[in-house]
Amino acid sequence: MKHRLFYNCLAAAALLMSLTACGDKPGANVGTSSDSGKPRVFTVNYPLTYFAERIGGEAIEVVFPAPAEGDPAFWQPTENDIAAFQSADLILRNGADYAKWMQGASLPESVQVDTSATFADSLIVVAGTATHSHGAGGEHSHDGVAFTTWLDLGQAIQQAQAIRDAFVGRWPDQTSAFDANFSALRADLEKLDGDLAFAAQGFGKEPLAASHPVYQYLARRYGLKIRSVLWEPETVPDDAAMADLKALLEKHPAKLMIWEGDPAPDSVAKLDAIGIKSVVFDPCGNRPEASSDFLSVMRENIKRLAASVPPVSPQP
């Protein structure tokens, strides 16, 4: 009996030591919200996701939970999605009234970063657009503040800078890595900015049309004369839509339509019939195909735009 009690005590002591050792194991997930042990940063669109991934490198886990289909700006998250945001170590907001669901959600202020705060005074206010729907976001309007801030690549650099600053403030031991990564990203964005400015110069004062009112910052930064309708790439314009376009053309005689995505062939044919060519300039608000990223999408945008510059008429 004494021997059995002795061995039972030994077994209990061994179990206690084992549990204690597990609790003190180096690398245990303490103070982070990720199974990997890395801080988790939540984002509301793909450009911020790309910037955060470039700057954070291997030190950060970036989470972009919006579905692959539709515009993340109009995504309506579930309660579980919001709970995931509430668990984040950092939340990167686009600002400019992007992702309006955040205005009514209970999210900790201390972990939120408005990446467009440094140029808040330069945001563009939009009025007079109709309510419409596309994708899974339901009906919405583009009235309010224009939110595709990153299409001005100078502003995109400022948003990336805000992410770098937030990362350094939150995880200062990684400052050297964050700085090196940000410098490389900034150089890439500056190159895109210069290339886009050069391509846009070819249009001069040429009037341009856009299928959707999302190019306000692109137009302002690069001097493009853009007026918009409310069309979707996958929807062929009906007689009413064509009438709206023709009314716009009376005061703004565009010969080129800029689309967010590949337009339906019948849409291209209808525009060709009235002397308007089509070109795609993808805003890249959502994650692109696996073989692409923000840089490659923007490079292709610039190539297509440059190829669409009207030929110079010979001087008499």
Mean pLDDT of 189-204: 98
pLDDT at residue 239 above 90? yes
Same domain, 54 and 166: yes
Q: Report yes or no: 51 and 163 within 8 Å, Cβ to Cβ.
A: yes
Same domain, 169 and 248: no
**Residue 36's pLDDT is what?**
77
Whether 136 is covered by a domain: the verdict is: no
Number of domains the chain contains: 2
**Residue 143's pLDDT is what?**
72
Same domain, 44 and 183: yes
pTM: 0.85
- The enclosing domain of 258 has a CATH number of 3.40.50.1980
**Residue 265's pLDDT is what?**
98
With a pLDDT cut of 90, the percent of the chain lying above it is: 81
Q: Kindly report which listed range (118-132, 225-239, 244-258, 279-293) carries the lowest average pLDDT score.
A: 118-132
Same domain, 180 and 211: no
Closest CA to 236 of 214, 209, 263, 272: 263
User: How high does pLDDT run on average in the chain?
Assistant: 89
Q: Report CA torsion sign: 102, 103, 109, 112.
A: positive
Same domain, 262 and 182: no
With bands split at pLDDT 50, 70 and 90, how would you rate the model's confidence at 142?
low
Residue 163: alpha-carbon gap to chain centroid = 13
Same domain, 220 and 284: yes
Mean pLDDT of 210-218: 98
Same domain, 218 and 253: yes
With bands split at pLDDT 50, 70 and 90, how would you rate the model's confidence at 148?
very high
Give me the domain span that covers residue 168: 40-129+149-191
Q: For 12-27, how does the pLDDT look when each residue is reduced to its tens digit (9 = 90+)?
A: 444 334 333 333 333 2
Same domain, 160 and 227: no
Q: Quote the tokens at residue 280.
A: 């795609």
Q: Report yes or no: 224 and 267 within 8 Å, Cβ to Cβ.
A: no
Whether 18 is covered by a domain: the verdict is: no
Residue 130: alpha-carbon gap to chain centroid = 23
**Residue 184's pLDDT is what?**
99
Q: For 45-79, how does the pLDDT look when each residue is reduced to its tens digit (9 = 90+)?
A: 999 999 999 999 999 999 999 999 999 999 999 99
Q: Kindly report which listed range (4-13, 101-110, 187-196) carries the lowest average pLDDT score.
A: 4-13
Same domain, 81 and 158: yes
Helix axes 153-170, 46-56, angle to 10 degrees: 50
